Structures are given as C-alpha cells and as structure tokens.
C-alpha cells in the first residue's frame, strides 16, 4: 500500500455535505479541521464554488442546457427532502465527490474538483449531466415496479432459477423479492454504506454484496446470515463477480485493485494492481479462466485468474472511464462502455474491434449480454435501457420506463425479461419482447 499524506484521507469526506457523513465522521472531521489550515481552505473553496455556480442567472445557464437541467433536478430533489438542521458555515452547499458517477451534481455525490478555475468546474460538470432522451421508440412492457428501498438502486441481480431479484441501494440494504409478485423475501442490513455490487452464487444459495464500507459480505439467501466478511480493500467496493465454479469472488475497488479470494474463507488468491485508477467493472469469463476489469484509467484488461498475467489491454477512449463491461456467453467477445456514451464490442480471440454502438446520449453505466448471446442490453444516464443486436448493432427497442439515470440491469435467465435499477428509486421488471 502506498503511503499517503494525512490530509489525503479527508479529500472525499470534505466533498460531502455534512448531513451525508456519519456522526463518527462528522466528529473526526471537526477535530481534523481545527488543526489543518489546508483542509479548512479547501472546504471554503468548495463552498465558494457552490455559491458561485448557484448564483448564475438562468439566462446564463441556458447556454449550458444540461447544467440547467441538472440544477433544476437538484432543486426538486432538495424540495422533496425533509428539512435538516443547518450545517456549520464552512460546510454549507452541496458537495461533489470524485467517484463512480463521475460528475453528476447530487445530494450524495463525491468528487474532488479543482479549486482554481471555475471554468474547469463547469467543463467537468457539463460532461456528466443528465439529459432526458426524447422521441418515439418501441418500449418493453413494464410488469413490476419495486419501490420499497426508497433510495437510489445501484445494484441488481437475478437468481439463477429466475424466481427472485436482489437489489442493492444507497440506503445500505439489500432486498430479495419475488420476481413475479414483488413480495419481499429477505432484507439484509449489515452494510453501513451504499451497496454498489451484487452477485448470486451459481447454486443460488448465497449472495455476495459489495459496499462503500470497503467490505464484501457473503450471506445465506434463506436466512440472511452472514457467512464471510471480506475486508481486503482499502476503499469503496464498486464491482464484484462470482467465479463460474462458485469457489472464488473477484472484487473491484476504488483502491485501484481487483482482488480474487475464496468465497467462504476469505483467503486471498490474487491481487491485481495493473489499473492506475478506480476499478468500476469486473467480470469472469464464462469458462472461469480469465477476468476482465475496467476502470477510470480508460482501460479494459483481460488477465489470467490464477496467475494474474495480463493477456489483453483495450483502451476505451483516450480519457473516458470504463463503467461497465460484459462477456458474451461463449466468451469470444466482450462489450464495454462508459462516460463516452458509446459501447465497444471486441473479439477476445483476435483482438479486433467488431462493433461500436452509439445509441445512447449519456454515460453508459450498465451492460448485460442476453443468455442466448444475440443481444446486449445497456443502461445509461439518458434514463433509457437499450437492447440491440450484438452482431449488427441495430436497436431492437428502447425502454423508457425510468425517470432518472439507469445504474444497473440484469437479464432473467430465460432472456424474456430484464430487471433494471435507477436513481428514480425504483427497480423495474419488464418484458424484452424477444
């Protein structure tokens, strides 16, 4: 682990609003600020930038239409929230955190921004703001909407038998519910921060959940009992995948590593450290021999799960983070997407770009290949899920049932339905029509 100056551990917490910190973090930060002029200055700079941005007249904001849309969305969000005691002057205003959602202005977002040039702030914000996609499109048929977590739905996974769906949320919980009725079967509450990743074991008896509390927890579906707590990461866990044989879990983190460990003992098998930035996507190859990982360094790396030797490196774009990736069921191709809004499909055998899908207008945050390998589903900040032909790139249809960014999705095992989770605080099951 690299040594860090003392103040570096506070960078992300400084970017949060006070109400989004735990009581322990509030107390610790207050004590730190009494003796650290640099952090007090940084906090004041955040406040000044927030005030300057909010003070811009709407006539000026109209030259940045996406920025205007996001500011109005934030205002609506704050109106819906219950009043809370005003924070100290040094921490007023919304904060931005450098994290998985990149540049969205959100009541909980974390991003560390430059405090020297306001134009840099605006440029970064404009790249990641939400813009509703309009137009006439064919849509799937919504069959079930699940609303009980009352916060952003950031992870979703279908049970291997297709009977249940698990959803992870920013309210720190995982809920398992009946895919046909929406009835809650189990609620798991052992995490202390947002749950950002979920995976069922191949036999359907266990779930692994990864969280911003830096842990991965393996727990029994039938009882909700924790079997294993993996604490090898030093930062948020943003992605995870269970090996096809059910023996190992690969977890990706904002500590720039992918760690492979035994699912029920926590024994570390391999730590992969080739990424230079946050790792936001991890997937095992269907045959279990390789792992693909993608992150904010704009790289997708395919490496041997046993030896850790890198076989292939793909560059998404020069500077755009990779947020999502998925193997084809036969393991011959891989699809990945991110902030650039495009999705690239590569051959993993001949190292050739096969297809670029450009149907989205905003960041791509979720990808899943259909079980039969014919289609890819992609979820985006443009509020849509798009299903498209994996060979031709032709759009099959666009699902527009969500009213905010789509953060996660999963195909049902039979390929007839998709479950999608969104920042509109819902998980929805809908027919693909395929």
Can you give the pLDDT at residue 428? 98
Can you give the pLDDT at residue 298? 97
- In angstroms, rounded to a whole number, what is the distance separating the alpha carbons of residues 1 and 19? 31
Look at residues 160, 123, 165, 178 and name the one whose alpha carbon lies nearest to residue 418. 165
Q: What is the DSSP letter of 172?
A: S
- Residue 319: phi and psi, rounded to 5, are -140, 5
Give me 379's structure tokens. Answer: 């979820």
- For 282-301, what is each residue's pLDDT tens digit? 999 999 999 999 999 999 99
Look at residues 255, 146, 275, 261 and name the one whose alpha carbon lies nearest to residue 208. 261
β-pairing, 333-338 vs 343-347, is antiparallel
Answer whether 96's CB lies under 8 Å from 105's CB. Answer: yes
- In angstroms, rounded to a whole number, what is the distance separating the alpha carbons of residues 428 and 407? 12
Q: How far is CA 419 from the centre of its chain?
A: 15
Counting Cβ atoms within 10 Å, is residue 202 exposed (0-12), middle (13-18) or buried (19+)? middle
Which of 36-50, 107-121, 225-239 has the lowest average pLDDT?
Answer: 107-121
Q: Answer yes or no: is pLDDT of 123 > 70.
A: no
Can you give the pLDDT at residue 32? 82
Q: What angle do CA 125, 46, 12 make, to 5 degrees?
A: 80
Answer whether 209's CB lies under 8 Å from 196's CB. Answer: no
Is the pTM above the cut of 0.85?
no
Q: Answer yes or no: is pLDDT of 85 > 90.
A: no
Residue 351 bridge partners (DSSP): none
- In angstroms, rounded to a whole number, what is the distance separating the alpha carbons of residues 124 and 133? 21
- In angstroms, rounded to a whole number, what is the distance separating the alpha carbons of residues 153 and 388? 24
- In angstroms, rounded to a whole number, what is the distance separating the alpha carbons of residues 46 and 96? 9
Q: Answer yes or no: is pLDDT of 310 > 80.
A: yes
**Strand, coil or helix: 321:** coil
Q: Give the residue ranges of DSSP H helices in 56-181.
A: 58-61, 65-80, 118-127
Look at residues 270, 269, 292 and name the one whose alpha carbon lies nearest to residue 280. 292
Q: What is the DSSP letter of 74?
A: H
Percent share of the chain, pLDDT over 90:
65
Answer whether 418's CB lies under 8 Å from 377's CB. Answer: yes
Can you give the pLDDT at residue 8? 59
Q: What is the DSSP letter of 140?
A: P
C-alpha gyration radius of the chain = 21
- In angstroms, rounded to a whole number, what is the distance separating the alpha carbons of residues 149 and 172? 9
Can you give the pLDDT at residue 103? 38
Can you give the pLDDT at residue 81? 52
- In angstroms, rounded to a whole number, what is the distance separating the alpha carbons of residues 48 and 92? 10
Average pLDDT over residues 2-11: 54
Look at residues 298, 408, 420, 430 and name the one whose alpha carbon lies nearest to residue 364. 408
- For 147-170, what is each residue's pLDDT tens digit? 988 899 999 999 999 999 999 999
Chosen CATH of 141-431 out of 1.10.357.20, 2.130.10.10, 1.10.8.420, 1.10.10.10: 2.130.10.10
Answer whether 366's CB lies under 8 Å from 419's CB. Answer: no
Q: Domain residue spans in the chain?
A: 6-127, 141-431
Q: Answer yes or no: is pLDDT of 138 > 50.
A: no
- In angstroms, rounded to a whole number, what is the distance separating the alpha carbons of residues 341 and 360? 6
Core vs surface per residue 288-298: b (16+ CB within 10 A) or e: bebbbbbbbbb
Can you give the pLDDT at residue 27? 79
Q: What is the DSSP letter of 138?
A: -
Can you give the pLDDT at residue 56? 59
- In angstroms, rounded to a whole number, what is the distance separating the alpha carbons of residues 48 and 45? 5
- In angstroms, rounded to a whole number, what is the distance separating the alpha carbons of residues 95 and 103? 11
- For 324-340, what is each residue's pLDDT tens digit? 999 999 999 999 999 99
Which of 79-88, 212-221, 299-308 has the lowest average pLDDT?
Answer: 79-88
β-pairing, 427-431 vs 417-422, is antiparallel
Q: Answer yes or no: is pLDDT of 77 > 80.
A: no
Give the residue, 259 or 109, on which the prediction is more confident.
Answer: 259
Average pLDDT over residues 212-223: 98
**Strand, coil or helix: 54:** helix
- Residue 309: phi and psi, rounded to 5, are -75, 130
Give the residue, 72 or 4, on which the prediction is more confident.
Answer: 72
Can you give the pLDDT at residue 54? 59
- In angstroms, rounded to a whole number, what is the distance separating the alpha carbons of residues 272 and 233? 12
């Amino acid at each position: 682990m690299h040594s860090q100056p003392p103040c570096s551990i506070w960078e992300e917490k400084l970017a949060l609003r006070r109400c989004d910190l735990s009581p322990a973090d509030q107390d610790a930060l207050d004590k730190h600020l009494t003796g650290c002029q640099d952090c007090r200055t940084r906090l004041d700079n955040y406040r000044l930038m927030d005030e300057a941005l909010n003070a811009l007249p709407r006539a000026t904001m109209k030259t940045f239409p996406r920025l205007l849309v996001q500011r109005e969305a934030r205002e609506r969000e704050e109106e819906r929230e219950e009043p809370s005691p005003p924070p100290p002057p040094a921490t007023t205003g919304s904060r931005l955190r450098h994290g998985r959602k990149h540049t969205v202005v959100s009541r909980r977002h974390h991003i560390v921004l430059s405090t020297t040039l306001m134009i840099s702030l605006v440029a970064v914000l404009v790249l990641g703001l939400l813009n509703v996609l309009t137009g006439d499109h064919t849509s799937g048929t919504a069959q079930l909407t699940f609303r009980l977590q009352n916060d952003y739905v950031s992870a979703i996974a279908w049970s291997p038998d297709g009977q249940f769906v698990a959803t992870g949320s920013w309210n720190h919980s995982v809920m398992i519910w009946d895919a046909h009725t929406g009835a809650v079967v189990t609620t798991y509450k052992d995490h202390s921060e947002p749950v950002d990743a979920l995976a069922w074991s191949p036999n359907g008896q266990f779930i692994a959940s990864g969280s911003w509390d830096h842990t991965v927890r393996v727990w029994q579906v039938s009882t909700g009992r924790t079997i294993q707590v993996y604490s090898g990461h030093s930062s948020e866990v943003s992605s995870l995948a269970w090996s096809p044989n059910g023996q190992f879990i690969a977890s990706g983190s904002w500590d720039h590593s992918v760690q492979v460990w035994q699912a029920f003992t926590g024994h570390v098998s391999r730590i992969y450290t080739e990424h230079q930035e946050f790792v936001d996507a991890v997937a095992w190859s269907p045959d279990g021999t390789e792992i693909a990982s993608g992150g904010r360094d704009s790289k997708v790396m395919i490496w041997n799960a046993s030896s850790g030797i890198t076989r292939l490196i793909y560059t998404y774009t020069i500077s755009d983070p990779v947020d999502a990736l998925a193997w084809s069921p036969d393991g011959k191709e891989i699809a990945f997407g991110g902030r650039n809004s495009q999705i690239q499909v590569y051959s993993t055998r001949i190292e050739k770009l096969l297809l670029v899908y450009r149907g989205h207008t905003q960041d791509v945050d979720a990808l899943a290949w259909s079980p039969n390998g014919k289609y890819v589903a992609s979820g985006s900040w443009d509020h849509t899920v798009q299903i498209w032909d994996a060979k031709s790139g032709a759009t099959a249809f666009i699902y527009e049932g969500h009213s905010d960014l789509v953060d996660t999705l999963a195909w049902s095992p039979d390929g007839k339905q998709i479950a999608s989770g969104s920042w509109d605080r819902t998980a929805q099951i809908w027919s693909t029509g395929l």
